[in-house]
Structures are given as structure tokens and as C-alpha cells.
Amino acid sequence: MAAVEVSEAEKVYILHGIRDDLRVDGRGCEDYRHMEIETDVVSNTDGSAKVTLGHTVVLVGIKTEIGKPRPMVPNEGYLEFFVDCSANATPEFEGRGGEELGTELSNTLYRVFNNKHSIDLKRLCISPGEHCWVLYVDVLLLQCDGNLYDAMSIAIKAALFNTKIPKVFISSDDEGGKDIELSDDPYDCMRLNVENVPCIVTLCKVGHRHIVDATLQEKACSVASLIMSVTHKGTVTCTRKVGGGSLDPESIFEMTEAGKRVGKALHAPLMKLLEQEESLGKKQQKVGFFG
């Protein structure tokens, strides 16, 4: 993970500010930085989104392909994740450093999103045991200024909301086999229900308090972090502790309650924003280098 060097004087300044619920950039301990979300930004994908969280920028593209269901769940489709850590984001992503982080991030995303509680995977089944939709989710980290997990999860939820899966027509041939035809009409498609798709909330323990959406400087002052995936109902579906320090039971309880509160509050405005952008259609204004 990208890191920065922070002097002892800077650490003291950051710690004292967090203790008084006033961070360096003026936020409270449970406040996110300014966030921008764009959907349908990559033309050769079936769904895409770009999220800018402070100076952290994540681009997600989703491609749909017909594959074979997994033997253990013959009536479900599935998702595959690939995370590419651009060396332009930070020099630490060059070579094996970026590959190892990409694998770690991909494994965490797989645990969070590829389950029946997040997405109705049965809707991705075309014919049980024979054909299903496979969603290849490619995540590109363009800039890194802390809180990668949260930015990635929001971008993935936005891209899944934007994903359009072609309608499938199955017919039988003379020999008893099955022919699969895809609809050519771009409006004749299936959309995913992303209401239950969780968002990841990362809480960093800094001093005797915890914060959300930590910058790289704040991350350098943190002893340990708790990564949680939270649904729109405030249900925790996955947790993971990272960092070399330890967390006492009281801190874990407080961080879990804060994560549920912050995660639950994140979903409603996110869905409202995605629905508003969807209603604009081609009228929506592209910003940044996609404009």
C-alpha cells in the first residue's frame, strides 16, 4: 500500500487534531472528502464508473461474457475481479509491489461482492449447468491518496448499476442442442439490482480515536485499520483487520458501530445520485479527461 513519510511534529499535530475531532483538512472524524462519481465513461465496456475521492481516483470497467457455471453452483453466474495499480499513481506500484497489492485488493473485493447476498447471481444464469453470464470487473487505480478500498467499492457499485446485460434467446436445433442468440437492441437488456451491494468503510485507529477516509498522512499515524463492508440496512457482511498494531475489544466495538452508521448513511445519497445521472442519459456532462 502506498505510504508517505511523516515527521514527529506532523504526527503530533495530526493526533491532536483528531483528538479534538478536527482533522488537518477541516473534516470531522467520520466525514468523507469531496467525492465525484461519473458513470458510462468507457465506451467499450458494458458498464463503467469513475470515482474521485479527494486525490484518489479509481476507474472501473465491467465486461460481460457467456461462460460455464461453476460445478458447486450450477444455477448461478459469477464475478471475476482484476485490480491494476498504475505506476503513475505512486512509484511504489512499479513492478512486484503493484502486482502484490493488486492481488490483495482483488481477493478482498471477491469476498465482498461475489456472493448471493450482494447480487442475485441466479439472474446471471442462462441455462443451469451449461451457460451463465460472467462479469469481469477491471479496476484501475489512477491516483492514490489513501482510502483505496472505499473508493473502489463505490466505483464498483456505480459500475454495476450502469451495467447493461444483453437479453438472451435460447432455441433448440434439430439435433437437440441449444442455440444462444443475443439481442441486437441496446435497450433490450437486463439490469442488475444493486440495492444490496455493500460499500466498504475503512476505519483507521489514530491515537485513542478512529477516523474514516484517511489520507496518506493520517494513515501514516495509524496503528491499525478495520475494513468493513456494509449494506444499505447497516448489515456488516465482511470485516478484515489490517496493519501491524493491535485493537482492543472496546475499540473494535466502537469502530464497528461507527462503520455501520457511516456505511448505512452512504448508500441513500449514492443511489439517488446514480439514478439522477441515469435519468440524464446522453445529456449528462462528462468532466475530466473523459469530457
Q: Among residues of the chain, what percentage have pLDDT more than 70?
A: 90
Whether the CB-CB separation of 66 and 133 falls below 8 Å is answered with yes
Question: Has residue 262 got a pLDDT over 90?
Answer: yes
Count of domains forming the chain: 1
Per-residue model confidence (pLDDT) at position 230: 93
Per-residue model confidence (pLDDT) at position 144: 86
Question: Has residue 155 got a pLDDT over 90?
Answer: yes
Q: At 56, is the secondary structure helix, strand, or coil?
A: strand
Q: Per-residue DSSP letters for 77-109?
A: -EEEEEEEE-TTT-GGGSTHHHHHHHHHHHHHH
Question: Has residue 168 got a pLDDT over 90?
Answer: no
Q: Nearest Cα to 1, choosing from 114, 111, 83?
A: 83
pLDDT in tens, 112-138: 988 778 888 999 988 888 889 999 999
Per-residue model confidence (pLDDT) at position 187: 77
Per-residue model confidence (pLDDT) at position 174: 67
- Note whether residue 285 is domain-resident: no
Question: Has residue 6 got a pLDDT over 90?
Answer: no
Domain ranges, residue 134: 26-279
- Note whether residue 148 is domain-resident: yes
Residue 115: left if φ>0, alpha if ψ -120 to 50, beta else—which one?
Answer: beta
Question: Has residue 83 got a pLDDT over 70?
Answer: yes
Taking residues 4-11, what's their average pLDDT? 85
Per-residue model confidence (pLDDT) at position 269: 92
- Note whether residue 130 is domain-resident: yes
Q: What is the CATH number of the domain that holds 146?
A: 3.30.230.70
- Note whether residue 10 is domain-resident: no
Q: Nearest Cα to 34, choosing from 151, 204, 140?
A: 151
Per-residue model confidence (pLDDT) at position 226: 93
DSSP 31: P
Give the C-alpha separation, 231 to 16, whole Å: 32
pLDDT in tens, 220-244: 898 899 999 999 999 899 999 988 8
- Note whether residue 15 is domain-resident: no
- Note whether residue 137 is domain-resident: yes
**Would you state the cell numbers that stand for residue 168, as one nine-digit string?**
438472451
Close Cβ partners of 70 (under 8 Å, ≥ 6 residues apart): 76, 78
- Note whether residue 2 is domain-resident: no
HEC profile of 141-207: EEECCCCHHHHHHHHHHHHHHHCEEECEEEEECCCCCEEEEECCCCCCEEECCCCCCCEEEEEEEEC
- Note whether residue 287 is domain-resident: no
Mean pLDDT of the chain: 87
Close Cβ partners of 20 (under 8 Å, ≥ 6 residues apart): none
Q: How confident is the model at residue 205 (pLDDT cuts 50, 70, 90)?
A: very high
